[in-house]
Structure 1
Amino acid sequence: MTPTSSTTAPAFDVVVIGAGIVGLAHAYEALLQGLSVAVVDRAGGAVHGASVRNFGHACITPQTGEARGYATEARRRWLDLAGAAGFTARESGTVVVARTAAELAVVEEYAASDPDTERLDARAVVDRVPVDPDPVVGGAFLPLDLQVDPREAAPAIATWLASQGVRFSWRTTALTVESGRVTTSRATFEADRIVVCTNHDVDRLFPRLAEQADVVRCRLHMLRADVDLRFPLTVPLFTGWSLLRYSGFAAMPSAGALRESLRASLPAGVAWDLNQMYTSPFDGSLIIGDTHVRDVDAPPFQDEAGFELVIAETERLFGVERIRVRERWQGVYASAPGREFLIEEPLPGVHVVTVTTGIGMTTGLGIAPSVLAPRGTATSVPESSTAVAV
C-alpha cells in the first residue's frame, strides 16, 4: 500500500533526499556499510535531473585539489557499479584538440605538469578524433576519464540499489528536514542520518544555506545530433573553450592569454560562456554543448542564439556543412562563485551535499565516503566549503 502523509515509515539508518548521481552515491555508500537506506525523490524515477541531462563524462584527469581526490575515488566506483548494475562505463579517456598557438600553449603546460596526460602532435589528434585537420596544431590525451550513457546510468544504479534492499519512495516530496526526521508528502521518515542531495534545489529546503553560498541555477544549451563524421567519435572531445573550465587547465600560466585570444576570435563564445565539447552515445550520435547562463531561477525559455552558436562551431570543428539535430534540451545544475562543493552539516546528523559546478558526474560517487564516514572518523572537507548559515 502506498503510504500517506499521515503514516510513519520504518526507521532507517540513512535517508537520502534526491535520486541523482550524488544521492545515489550516498545510498550506495550506506549500502556498502551494511546500513538500512531509504531514498526519497519527487520525480517518478531518475528521468529529469542534472544527472540525465549531461554529457555522461567523468572528467577525472584535469581536476585538482579535493575534486581530484573525489574524482579518483568516483572512477573506481563507476567501474564497480557498471559491473554490478549492468550499464556501460567506457574507459575512453578524453582527447583535447588545440587549433591555435594559444590553445596549444595551455595544453603543453598542463601536459608538462601532469604525468597522467599524454601530449599529442597534430597528426595523432586527427588520427584519433574526426575533426577537420586544418587548423589542428596539436593536443593531448587524458587517459583517466570515463564515459557513460547519462540516460542509462542513473536509472540502472537506482534499479540495482532497489534490488539490494534500498527502499525508494518516488513521487514523494520532502517537506521539512530536522535532525532524525524527514517529513514528506507521503510519510514521515525517521533516520539516524539524513543526506540532502537536491542539487540546485538546495534552496527549497535550506534557503539560508543556499543564499549564504550564493547558489544559483546554471542553464545550458545542449543538443543531440547526427553528424557525418570522417569516422566515429569514440572518446569525449574537448576544445580550447574547455581549457578555461577545468581547474587544472585554468591554472596554467597561459590560460589568461588563451581567454583573450578566444574573446577576440569569437566574442559570442565568451558572452555565452561556451564550453565546446562532445561525447558520443553508443548509438553513434553526438551530445553537443554547452552554454552557461546563471540566475536564481531557470526559466524554460531558451534563446535560439545559443543553439545557433554551438551548431555553427560544431560544423566548423568537424568540417561539415550541416548537422541533423535530434533533440534540444536545457541542462540545469547548481553553481556558486568560488567553490566547487557545498558540503555542510547544518543540523546534527543532517548533511547537505551539492556539487556547485558541472562536475557532479565526475565527483559525486567519490564524495559519499567522506560524508558518511563513521562518526569520530576524520574526513576531508573541500577547501572551498566554508561554514554558512541554515
Structure 2
Amino acid sequence: MNSQTPAPSIAIVGAGIVGLAHAVAALDAGYRVTVIEQDAAAVTSSVRNFGHVGASVQAGELGELARESLPLWLGLAERAGVEARRSGTLAVARSDAEAAVLHEVLAERAPEGARLLSGAAAAAELRLAPGGEAAGAIRAGLMLPADITANPRTAVARIAAWIAGHEQGEVRFRTTVHAVDTGLVETSRGRIEADTVIVATGHLLGRLFPELASTGGVRECALQMARVRAPHAMGLGPAVLTGTSMLRYGRFDGPAADALRDELTAQRPELFEISANVMLTQQADGTLLVGDSHAAHDAAPPFLDERWSRILLDEVATLLGAPRLDVLERWQGLYATSTAGDILRASPAPGVHVVTLTTGVGMTVGLGLGARTIAAL
C-alpha cells in the first residue's frame, strides 16, 4: 500500500473479543476498519467470563491459537491500557485421582515452564492457613506460569476505545446489522461499504445467517458465575483450576483423566448434573470471579438456578477454607456452542467471512484467531 492508494477496508460485525481481535489485527496490517455493534457496549460473553487466558491447558488448534494470543494480550496491555497480567494458572488436586492427572500431564505433555507443587506449596499459593483443613486437603498442584488473567469488565471496552482512536479505525455502537452481502453491510444507520466483511457475532449468528447457524449446530451455552469477596488476603495470585477443570480442557486428556471422570461421576454426581468447571480468577480489587456451570439451549432462559449457584459457591468455599463466600454479584454468561467443532468458519458470499467460536474460550484464543483470519485474507 502506498500513499496514493487507499487502504483496503474491512467491516467487522460484532464488538466482542473475537470481533475486536480481528479489528486489531486488521489495523496492524494496514486496513481501514469499521466495527459495528448493536449494543452501546459489549455486554454478553466477552464481559461475563473469568478473564482467564488459559493457554497452557488447551490442546490442538485451540492450543496453537491460545499460545499465539498470549503476546497479543501483553501488547494490548501496553498499547491500549488493558488490565492483563502474567498470573499463571494453578491446577489443584484434592484427591489421588486428580493428582494422577497432574503427574501424567507433567510426565507426558507438560507445557513449557510447568512445575509440580507439593500439597503444602499449592496451599501456600492460595494463602491457606498451614495445618488447616483446606490446606491439608490439597494433595498436589501444577503451576503453569505462562497464562494471563485479564479484567473482563474493562478489557473489551479498552480495546474498542483503542480501535476508535486509531487513525484508520472506527467503532459504531448502537447500530444493528440487518443484512450482509459482498461489499456491504446494511444497518439501522444506513449502508456501510467495505472490501471485506467479517461476521463475529458469536451465539447471535443465526440472526444474520440462520441456515448457517442451523447446519453448524450453533446453540447457546448458558452458565452461572459470581463475583465474591476473597475470604482472606490472597495477594494477586494465579487463576485456579480444580478436578472438574481437568475434565474440560484438552491438555489434561488421557487415561488419568478418564479414571478421574469415573470417580467423580460416582462420588459427585451433582457436579456432572450442572456440567461444572469449578475455578476462579483473582482480580486487582480483591475480589474473585468464580464459577461455573454449563447448559446448552436453543434459546437460553434468563433464570439462574440458586441450587446450581450454591453447588459452585460451596465448592469454592471448601477449597479456600471458608464457611461461606460473600457474594457481591451473580450473572448468567452466554456463548455459542456446537457439537460439530470448536470453530465455525464459513464464507456465505464472496468477501464475507463468518468466524464463530463455538466453545467458551474466547478470551483465551480470540486474539490469535483474529490474527490468523486477517493474515489469510
TM-score bracket relative to the smaller structure: over 0.9
- What is the deviation of 1:264? 1.9
Letter in 2 for 1:292: H
**In structure 1, what is the equivalent of residue 15 of structure 2?**
19
Percent of pairs with identical residues: 42
Report the CA distance shift for 1:230/1:81 in structure 2 as closer, same or farther (over 3 A): closer
Aligned pairs for 1:68-217 (under 5 A) are: 68-112=63-107, 113-116=109-112, 117-131=114-128, 132-165=134-167, 166-217=169-220
- Map Cα deviations across residues 345-387 of structure 1 (whole Å, 9 max, x no partner): 2211111111111110000000122212254xxxxxxxxxxxx
- What is the deviation of 1:233? 5.2
- Map Cα deviations across residues 269-292 of structure 1 (whole Å, 9 max, x no partner): 000000000011110111110000
- What is the deviation of 1:227? 3.2
Distance 2:103 2:150 in 1: 28
**Pair 1:41 & 2:37 matched:** yes
TM normalised by structure 1 equals 0.90
Aligned pairs for 1:248-267 (under 5 A) are: 248-249=251-252, 251-267=253-269
- Map Cα deviations across residues 196-233 of structure 1 (whole Å, 9 max, x no partner): 01010011111111111211100011000113226335
Distance 1:362 1:331 in 2: 16
**Pair 1:55 & 2:58 matched:** no
- Map Cα deviations across residues 293-339 of structure 1 (whole Å, 9 max, x no partner): 10111111121111111111122111111211100000000111141
Letter in 2 for 1:21: I
The answer to whether the 8 Å contact 2:230/2:287 transfers is: yes
Distance 1:17 1:220 in 2: 24
- Map Cα deviations across residues 13-60 of structure 1 (whole Å, 9 max, x no partner): 1000000110001111110111111000001123x1211110000010
Query: Where in structure 1 are there 5+ consecutive unaligned residues?
Result: 1-9, 376-390
The answer to whether the 8 Å contact 1:11/1:190 transfers is: no
Report the CA distance shift for 1:115/1:52 in structure 2 as closer, same or farther (over 3 A): closer
**In structure 1, what is the equivalent of residue 319 of structure 2?**
317
In structure 2, which of residues 348, 367, 372 is the aligned counterpart of residue 346 of structure 1? 348
Query: Where in structure 2 are there 5+ consecutive unaligned residues?
Result: 1-5, 129-133
SS at match of 1:371: helix
Distance 1:179 1:343 in 2: 17
- Map Cα deviations across residues 143-196 of structure 1 (whole Å, 9 max, x no partner): 111011001111011111111131111100110011111101111111111010
- What is the deviation of 1:64? 1.3
Distance 1:121 1:315 in 2: 21
- Kindly tell me the number of residue pairs found equivalent between the two proteins: 364
- What is the deviation of 1:11? 10
In structure 2, which of residues 356, 359, 377 is the aligned counterpart of residue 357 of structure 1? 359
Distance 2:272 2:38 in 1: 36
Distance 2:44 2:177 in 1: 16
Larger deviation: 225-234 or 93-102? 225-234
Letter in 2 for 1:78: W
Distance 2:175 2:237 in 1: 38
Distance 1:232 1:373 in 2: 39
- What is the deviation of 1:134? 2.2
Report the CA distance shift for 1:332/1:297 in structure 2 as closer, same or farther (over 3 A): same
SS at match of 1:133: helix
SS at match of 1:254: helix
Distance 2:335 2:373 in 1: 21
Aligned pairs for 1:370-381 (under 5 A) are: 370-373=372-375, 375=377
The answer to whether the 8 Å contact 1:95/1:129 transfers is: no
Letter in 2 for 1:79: L
RMSD of equivalent CA atoms: 1.5
Distance 2:236 2:166 in 1: 36
- What is the deviation of 1:248? 1.3
